[in-house]
Structure 1
Amino acid sequence: MVTIKDIAKIAGVSHTTVSRSLNDSPLIRPETKDKIKKLAKELNYTPNMSAKRLVNQKSYIIGLFFSSIQDGTSDSFLVEVIKGIHSVLPKEYSLTVQGLDSLNDYSLETNKRYDGVILMSQSDQDDLFIRHLLSEEIPFAVLNRQLDEKEILNITSNDRQGVKSAIDFALAKGYQKIAFIEGKDGFRSTIERKKGYLDSLTQHNLPLNNEWVVQGDYSIESGQRACEKLLRLSEKPDLIFCSNDDMAIGAMRACHANGLAIPSDISIIGFDDISFAKYTSPPLTTVHKPIVQISQTGTIELLKKIQQQPIHQLQLLIDTSLEIRQTVN
């Protein structure tokens, strides 16, 4: 195995110069750094991560935390988040994944010396963990849930506007009886998405029919149960908006079980645009939530924070888009 000392001997410089060059130290001239890096590449040099951690006083570990992995987090959402982070995370970093609801003591977890933490937050109950990170002065980014605190690095999608656009689209197509299946109680995404539904009804001077608003919990099963409840009403909706795609799949299952054809008898719109959405029967019209982009942006900005580089905008709302497929006439 090639070492820093080997590179130093061939280049005719000290091993300190080699180390600083490979770590992009401003103390080393650019031409020297280029020469050392080129030589290291030619020799297939692989850094000793244990030594690098000691020298830089870093763990090279990023902690990824969800409100819960088991409850309210779909498999597709988990995969998209990890895919987005890994696509921009430097190869020397490793990623650990944990659900906050499985932790008894935050201190025991953060004592592992994370260089930074990504919190994929779904609930206001995560605020206790956020306060812990602030008190421990651990660099972190909160993704997925819009915060009121302006001084925290916070990146999410504009869920409210995304739902409003979807309901506006349905109304423009002539639908008037639009039901709404809510997400998990207490999640900020549930609140923001319902606001979008109400915004559209208000703008179009349509009354809210409380019978057409049914609670779900982001699972396929809850979507099926909620849809069955809607189908038992004396005045049935002609379109059902589901607060995520998993519930939309459950709603489609309920419609099929009740002999209803989609979209000729009833229409469905989802939210998230999971990879499976285009393969449902028929393919699901849904609001595309840019989970990969949110995860990538959050990771890039967190790395700036870890490296003490300036961050020009702490709060970012990334636009959604409506993917029109075949569950709406």
Structure 2
Amino acid sequence: MVTIKDIAKTAGVSHTTVSRALNNNPLIKLETRKKIKKIAEEMNYVPNFNAKSLVNQKNYMVGLFFSSIDQGTSSSFLVDVITGIHAVLDESYSLSVEGIDEIRALEQINFQRYDGIIIMSQSDHDEAFIDFVKQQNIPFVVLNRPLEDSDIINVLANDAEGVTEAIDYAIQLGHERIAYIGGKDDFRSSNERKQGLIISMKKNQLPINEDYFFKGDYSIESGFEEMQNILQLSPLPSLVFCANDDMAIGAMRAAAEQGYQVPKDISLIGFDDSKLVAYLNPPLTTVHKPVKKISRTGTELLLRMIDGEDISPKQYRVKTHLQVRQSVAPVEN
């Protein structure tokens, strides 16, 4: 088996230099790093992560915990989170993905297998798990949901601000009768997004009609079902805001099945900006939530904590933006 010492001998450098180069240490010049990596590749060098773990006293394992894998976590959201994390983790790290709602007993979790924990929190019900992790004296970050505890590293987007921007845009185009399809009640994101809509409507002095507020569960099916109910309203809303893109996809399908054209007859706005929605007919106007950036930022902060660095500030906000496409049309008087 080829070792670091073999590469060092061929490259004419110390084994310390080789080790640093293979780990992308900035102390080693880029040109030297490329040269050493090329030699390692030509010699078919395979890193011995077990030996590396013993030397560094690390497990090279990060735990990713979602509020729920099955309920309220869309496949696109899951993929974006994992993609963002893997953009930061090098090949020596493994990632374990778990659902908090699937844990039967917190005491049974083996935290010794992890160097650090990423909690992708969607629900207030996660508080017990977060408090338990905090007691384990292990580096961890909480992403996606604001926390009251100012001692915990927290990375999130301002969902309410993003929705307010979207509804302001719709109102500027003449929309006044606006319906809302929300997500799961126990998910903080659903409440924040509803609040963003209400803020915009109050700011623009529009009446809040509770008959136009519907509860989904972030699934395509719930968007379809609630849109069927919305289309029975009189007067019909001119625009429907869906608290995520999956529900907007279901809503668009329901409208088409009942003979309504988007945006000619009714306009639609989603939230998340998943890859699929740019290819719908019409392409969906939606709030872009930078899930990958949130995940990247959280992972970068976690790795710094694992290396013993004290992180300050503790809370990081990542900005959303409105992605305007063709699913919203101006209201004709």
Q: Same fold (TM over 0.5)?
A: yes
Segments ≥4 residues shifted beyond 3 Å: 4-13, 17-21, 34-41, 43-46
Q: 2:7 touches 2:18 (CA, 8 Å); kept in 1?
A: no
Distance in 2 between residues matched to 1:106 and 1:161, nearest whole Å: 35
Aligned counterpart, 2:24? none
Q: Check conservation: 1:58, 1:115, Cα contact below 8 A.
A: yes
State the 1:319 CA deviation.
Answer: 0.8
Offset from partner CA, 1:132-161 (integer Å, 9 cap, x none): 111111111111111122111111111000
- Which residue is equivalent to 1:289? 289
Is the CA contact 1:21–1:37 (under 8 Å) kept in the aligned structure 2?
no
1:105 CA displacement: 2.2
Identity of aligned residues (%): 51
> C-alpha distance in 1, partners of 2:200/2:20?
53
Q: Residues 31 and 268 of structure 1: is their aligned pair in 2 closer, same or farther, counting only changes over 3 Å?
A: closer
The residue matched to 1:174 in structure 2 has which SS?
coil
Could you tell me the TM-score, scaled by structure 2's length? 0.89
- The normalised TM-score by structure 1 is 0.91
Give 1:248's aligned residue: 248
Q: How many angstroms does 1:234 deviate by?
A: 2.3
- The yes-or-no answer on 1:42 pairing with 2:39 is yes
8 Å CA contact retained: 2:85, 2:296:
yes
In structure 1, the partner of 2:192 is: 192
CA deviation after TM superposition for structure 1 residue 191, in Å: 1.1
Q: Given residue 198 of structure 2, which amino acid in structure 1 is its aligned partner? A: L
Distance of 2:105 and 2:153 partners within structure 1: 24
**What are the within-5 Å matches in structure 2 for residues 315-326 of structure 1?**
315-326=315-326
In structure 2, runs of 5+ residues without a counterpart are 22-26
Q: Which residue of the partner structure matches residue 210 of structure 2?
A: 210
The Cα RMSD (Å) is: 2.3
Would the alpha carbon gap of residues 36 and 208 (structure 1) be closer, same or farther in structure 2, given more than 3 Å must change? closer
Is the 8 Å Cα contact of residues 143 and 156 (structure 1) preserved in structure 2?
yes
Q: 1:324 to 1:43 in 2, by over 3 A?
A: closer
Superposition map of 1:114-133 within 5 A:
114-133=114-133
Q: State how far apart, in whole Å, the 2-side matches of 1:221 and 1:11 are.
A: 60
How does 1:88-107 map onto structure 2 within 5 Å? 88-107=88-107
| Paired position in structure 2 for 1:181 | 181
- Residue 106 of structure 1: how far off its partner (Å): 2.6
Give the letter for the 1:226 counterpart.
E
Seen in structure 2, the aligned counterparts of structure 1 residues 234 and 304 have a Cα distance that, compared at 3 Å, is: same
Conserved 8 A contact 1:272-1:289: yes
Structure-1 separation of matches of 2:150 and 2:184: 25
How many residues of Structure 1 are paired with residues of Structure 2 in the alignment?
A: 320
User: Per the alignment, in what secondary structure is the counterpart of residue 155 of structure 2?
Assistant: strand
Using the TM superposition, give the Cα deviation of residue 323 of structure 1 relative to its aligned residue in structure 2, in angstroms. 0.8
Q: Does 1:71 align with 2:77?
A: no
CA distance in 2, matches of 1:68, 1:294: 18
Structure 1 residue 118, shift from structure 2 partner: 0.8
Asked whether the equivalents of residues 144 and 157 of structure 1 are also in contact (C-alpha less than 8 Å), the reply is yes
1:223 aligns with 2:223: yes
Secondary structure (helix, strand or coil) at the match of 1:72 reads coil
Q: Partner of 1:18 in structure 2?
A: 15
Partners of 1:95 and 1:62 lie apart in 2 by: 5
Alpha-carbon distance between aligned partners in 1 of 2:255 and 2:222, rounded to the nearest angstrom: 14
Once the two structures are TM-superposed, the CA of residue 269 in structure 1 deviates from its matched residue by 0.3
Q: Look up the SS of the partner of 1:226 in the other structure.
A: helix
1:113–1:206 Cα change, 3 Å? same
Whether the 8 Å contact between 2:68 and 2:100 is mirrored in structure 1 is yes
The 5 A counterparts of 1:251-266 are 251-266=251-266
